[in-house]
Amino acid sequence: MGEIWEGLSAGFWLVVTLDADLVEITLRSLQVTLSAVVIASVIGLPFGAFLAIRRFRHRRATIAVLNALMGLPPVVVGLVVYLLLSRSGPFGVLGLLFTPTAMIIAQVIIITPLIASIAHQAIRDIWAEYHDLLISLSTSKRQRIKTLLWDGRRALITASLAGFGRGIGEVGAIMIVGGNIDNATRVLTTAIALETGKGDFALALGLGFVLIALAIAVNLAIHTIGRTESEGKW
Amino acid sequence: MIRIFAVIFTVLGSAAWAESLKLAVTTSFHNSGLSDILLPAIKEDTDIDVQLLVVGTGQALRLGEAGDVDAILVHSRAAEEAFVAAGYGTRRREIMYNDFVMIGPADDPARIGEAGTAADALALIAQAQATFVSRGDDSGTHKKELSLWDASGATRGGDWYRPVGAGMGAALNTAAGMDAYILADRASWLNFGNKAGLDLLFAGDPALFNQYAYIPVNPGRHAHVKADLAIALEDWLTSDRAKELIDNYMINGETLFTFNATNPS
Amino acid sequence: MVTSILPLRVSDAVVKRRKKRLLGPVSLDVTAEGFTIIMGPNGSGKTTLLRVLHGLERLSSGQVSWTVPLADAQIRQAFVFQMPIMMRRSVRDNLAYPLLVHGQGKTAAYQAAEIWADRVGLADALDTPAPQLSGGEKQKLALARALIREPEIVFLDEPCANLDGRATREIEAILKDAQAAGTRILMSTHDVGQAKRLADDVVFLMHGSIIEHTPAKAFFTGPKTPQATALLQGDIVE
């Protein structure tokens, strides 16, 4: 109990004093995960919608694989990305290993299946609901997809937020491909792992509380924006 | 779309440092806190941003082999010499040493505090079948521990011998939780925040000395490595300025490292 | 004057699903004017017939033909489902949607939406999310959304099945107005009273087949089949 209390107060002091290192790694955490979420959403949301609407061969198999990929162990993703980006790997010439870009790549791989899968379920439900109406109104394929994405936007935001949640708290993959380099690739989760390793539980816990607060703040912010944007419309 | 690209470029931009060098170091070196003293001084004197990759000796050597870092600073002589012999590094340069210490429950049930050598101490632990946490991660510390076990002639294994496959800090956390014996480097132990019921029980045997060596990655193998910076860093690490900083680094009034840079071996 | 899409001609239409015959063979001519009521017990094929006419159901055999190519005919008709499908948008956006997807400008579309909301008594609810409306309001919205593009023909699948008397009366009034404006209406119902109030002619379905198609007066005064007689007497027809 004492350590949790110390952690809370350590976290509190880090925040109120706007500790320079804390600000830096927090911003980097946000930068890496938000970039990954944006890229994964651009890929995953339309892909999920596509899976919900279009019928094609191996569709069921594709969905099964997608759902399985949701549980992809980040450490494995990290290791594979590491081997691909290593100087002696196929993409070594790019020199991306141990950079934030490498961390973004790993996180995109981890969260895209999650976002696509949730988007697929959400769009599938709306499509089942709207199917007859949209056919009856002689809408074009493009109009249908546009309508479903727009009317499903709340569920899609939830999908992206789920991706954010998985990304911001992820440590296994970014530790391996980022290397937890001070001032270059250290983020909240890898810093927590580092401080835990040093036995400095209070600081580790303090960073953990900052991480939780950050995740909550981002969720609240996005829900608030979503509501004000659509007030009066829906 | 424009916003997405803006984000990507910001990230790429922040990754591109002016003069940065990637150095793989061991957890024990990093946990000592010495890097916090040395890195700012290096930046000041040579304008090099040293980016530390804190890993076990085994992974540090792998990073060097793959060309993913520009130089390594590790402490496992046999492996280092093999690394240089295989052509992955240009040369091995000894920089400094510290020592390993044996940590265990403060009441010392295996009585290792009375042992004559480090090997004897391990033999006593084996005899008492007292819980012993091993790094088990192919790190320099792990390799040192294994060589000491071999010297002791004791058989290890069984329930009391626990390889955790983790870094120094995590292994110390485990030992603290299990009230177990463990071999640690002195610096990590002094800086460790969660000592719980553990205490330093045995130290001083020359067999426990821990030599750190610096090896630049061979640019003949990996053309992209920053060989110039690696040499500049080597020059700095063997300089009088480094000697002064290393010899005067203390935790709780104890000197941790002894500078002993020599000519290239 | 654009060529009318009517009459609609159905010849020997059959719908089978998993080898089970849901409808047919059915042949039916839908002339340019009137209010046709489709009656028959549950499972007799009322919904399937309406969906076939509207082109929502794939035919196993037979034909449905309009006087113009199918694509042209499809955009000049509308359908009201038994369970109204509410888009997750405001009433205003639901009403404007059919106009917007068919190229109407925003200003005109939203103007029409307000006019129609007023017409069906939803003027106060323009900004309410459609899924939050009551059952009767939902059906009125669905009806207005179907009528907003002034289709030549509207199909309605038991639109008042779950509604109380007042909502039913309001819907019937809207339908009568539409009919007066020249809209051809085909509607299924269980409610004999409603059929009597609205029908010009009656199609009576049993087990997927049309067993009677007569003018309303003839149907209600002298039904030709025992099943229709039973229905009109208030007996249970299976």
Q: pLDDT digits over B70-81, tens only?
A: 999 998 888 899
Q: Which strand ranges, in their side-by-side order, compose the sheet holding C8-17?
A: C20-30, C8-17, C61-65
Q: Write out pLDDT tens, residues B180-234.
A: 999 998 888 888 888 888 999 999 888 898 899 999 999 999 989 999 999 999 9
Interchain CB contact of A138 with C (< 8 Å) = yes
The rounded Cα B94 to chain-centroid distance in angstroms is 14
Å between A100 CA and nearest CA of chain B: 6
Residue B13 confidence (pLDDT): 45
Please state which CATH number belongs to domain C8-86+152-232: 3.40.50.300
pLDDT recorded at residue B71: 95
| Average pLDDT estimate for A125-132 | 93
Q: Would you call A65 helix, strand, or coil by DSSP?
A: helix
Residue A179: list chain B partners with CB under 8 A: 51, 53
Which pLDDT score is estimated for B15? 44
Q: Is C27 on the interface with A (CB under 8 A)?
A: no
Residue type at A70? M
Residue B4 has pLDDT above 80, yes or no: no
In percent, the amount of chain A with pLDDT more than 70 equals 96
Q: What is the 3-state secondary structure (H, E, C) of chain C?
A: CCCCCCCEEEEEEEEEECCEEEEEEEEEEECCCCEEEEECCCCCCHHHHHHHHHCCCCCCEEEEECCCCHHHHHCCEEEECCCCCCCCCEHHHHHHHHHHHCCCCHHHHHHHHHHHHHHCCCHHHCCCEHHHCCHHHHHHHHHHHHHCCCCCEEEEECCCCCCCHHHHHHHHHHHHHHHHCCCEEEEECCCHHHHHHHCCEEEEEECCEEEEEEEHHHHHHCCCCHHHHHHHCCCCCC
Q: Which residue has the tokens 């009433």?
A: C91
Asked if residues A22 and A210 have their Cβ atoms less than 8 Å apart, the reply is yes
The chain-wide mean pLDDT, for chain A, equals 88
Q: How far apart are CA C72 and CA C56, in angstroms?
A: 15
Pairing assessment for the beta strands B20-26 and B49-55 based on DSSP bridges? parallel
Mean predicted confidence (pLDDT) in A166-174: 92
Where do runs of H (alpha helix) occur along B47-159? 57-66, 77-85, 118-128, 140-152
pTM: 0.79
State the distance between the two ends of chain A, measured CA to CA, in whole angstroms. Answer: 46
* Cα dihedral: C189, C193, C194, C196 (round 10): 100
Predicted confidence band of residue A111 (pLDDT cuts 50, 70, 90): very high
In chain C, which residues fall in CATH 3.40.50.300? 8-86+152-232
Nearest partner of B97 among B49, B144, B163, B45, judged by Cα = B144
Is C70's Cβ below 8 Å from some Cβ in A?
Answer: no
pLDDT of residue B1: 47
pLDDT band at A1 (very low <50, low <70, confident <90, very high): low
Least confident of A117-121, B18-22, C1-5: C1-5
> In what helix (H) or strand (E) does residue B215 lie, and over which residues does it extend?
strand B209-216
Cβ contacts (< 8 Å) between A100 and chain B: which residues? 11, 14-15
**Chain A closest-CA separation from residue B173 CA (Å):** 7
Q: How far is C126 from chain A (nearest CA, A)?
A: 9
| Interface confidence (ipTM) of the complex | 0.91
pLDDT band at B17 (very low <50, low <70, confident <90, very high): very low
Which of A101, A181, A194 is the closest to B11 by Cβ?
A101
Q: Which residue has tokens 């955790």?
A: B164
pLDDT-wise least confident of B1-15, B160-174, B210-224, C119-133: B1-15
The answer on pLDDT for B130 being more than 80 is: yes
Distance separating alpha carbons of residues B147 and B157, to the nearest angstrom = 15
Section B172-182 average pLDDT: 92
B42 has pLDDT over 70: yes
What is the structure's pLDDT at B120?
Answer: 93
Kindly list the residues from chain B whose CB atom is less than 8 angstroms away from the CB atom of residue A180. 53-54
- Cα radius of gyration (chain C): 18
Pairing of strands B71-74, B209-216: antiparallel
pLDDT at C2: 67
- d(Cα B190, Cα B254) in Å, to the nearest integer? 9
Compute the nearest-CA separation of A57 from chain B (Å): 31
Nearest CA in chain A to C55: A136
| pLDDT tier for residue B16 given thresholds of 50, 70 and 90 | very low
Gap between the terminal Cα atoms of chain C: 46
**pLDDT over 60 at A5, yes or no:** yes
CA distances from B202 to A189, B172, B263 (A): 35, 16, 32
Domains detected in chain B: 16-97+209-259 (3.40.190.10), 100-207 (3.40.190.10)
Check residue C46 and give its pLDDT.
92
pLDDT value for B265: 44
Domains in chain A with CATH codes: 2-230 (1.10.3720.10)
pLDDT confidence bin for A227, thresholds 50/70/90:
low
Contacts of B260 (CB under 8 A, 6+ apart): B94, B95, B96, B97, B211
CA distance C217 to C199: 9
CB atoms within 10 A of CB A63: 18
Identify the pLDDT of residue C162. 81
Q: Is C49:C42 a contact under the CB 8 Å cutoff?
A: no
Cα separation, C198 vs C168, whole angstroms: 12
CB contact under 8 A, A38 and B3: yes
Residue ranges of the alpha helices (H) in A17-99? 20-53, 59-69, 74-85
Residue A129 reports pLDDT greater than 90: yes
For residue A227, the chain C residues in CB contact (below 8 A) are none
pLDDT > 90: what percent of chain A? 47
Q: What is the pLDDT of residue A104?
A: 96
Judge whether C33 and C179 are in contact, CB under 8 Å.
Answer: no
Q: Which residues of chain C have pLDDT under 70?
A: 1-2, 238
Band (pLDDT 50/70/90 cuts) for residue A195 is confident
Is A98 an 8 Å CB contact of chain B? Answer: yes
Spatial contact of C91 and C127, defined as CB atoms under 8 Å apart: yes
